[in-house]
Chain A
């Protein structure tokens, strides 16, 4: 059964850093591009970043460019999002999603709260 399970969320102060993980199972992780999408409390969806199946191409939303880094470890079936210089407006649930059929499977998300 295909599963995406995010972890690593928590409370962090403005200016701090956090690394999110997305553990994939039930499919050939190394064959699919992956996305991070976030949802601020009570708000809609915002695409954050994408990485190609082999990690050779990465794209970011302007709102996170230069602060967030998407990466993957295909040997461990894990997607990452390294977040630094965090701002209060980065507070959100962060979801990973598979790209095989354009966001065909999603994780439940992990909550990141940026607050002093």
Chain B
């Protein structure tokens, strides 16, 4: 199974400042079809899980452009250019390159 490791596990951030979360996979996430199926999800209290980014860097419909994804192979990053109060929650990276699909441990974003 592919192991997804996120850092940090907790990230206190000042409103208006940037935030960054790293995700490393135990093996390459490049699929045989050439795509890299790495996504980022957001979990806010009382809300359904929300897809933010898919295939490394594609913002899903309705996701603000302050969210961006980057990376390749085994190393990936989610960046928030200016954190807003509504961004508080837990962020997960995940891969869907092969079964079983696996998730990172989650990174809790909180406001300082």
- Measured CB to CB, the residues of A under 8 A from B are 4, 35, 44-47, 50, 59, 61-62, 95, 97, 101-109
Contact = CB atoms under 8 A, between A and B. Distances in A.
B51 A104 contact: yes
Contacts of A106: 48-50
Interface residues of B, number: 21
Contacts of B39: 102-103
Interface string B74-112: 000000000000000000101010011111111000000
- Which of the listed residues A4, A45, A97 has the most CB atoms from chain B within 10 Å of its own CB? A45
Contact of A103 (B51, B55, B99, B102): B51
B48 A44 contact: no
A61 B100 contact: yes
B72 interface: no
> Which 4 residue pairs spanning A and B have beta carbons closest together?
A47-B101, A106-B49, A45-B103, A106-B48
Interface of B: 37, 39, 41, 48-51, 54-55, 60, 92, 94, 96, 99-106
A102 B100 contact: no
B105 A44 contact: yes
Given A50-B101, A101-B60, A103-B94, 8 more contacts: A62-B100, A97-B49, A102-B39, A102-B51, A102-B54, A103-B41, A103-B96, A107-B48
Nearest to A109: B48
Contacts of B50: 106
A44 B54 contact: no
A35 B41 CA distance: 15
Nearest to A62: B100
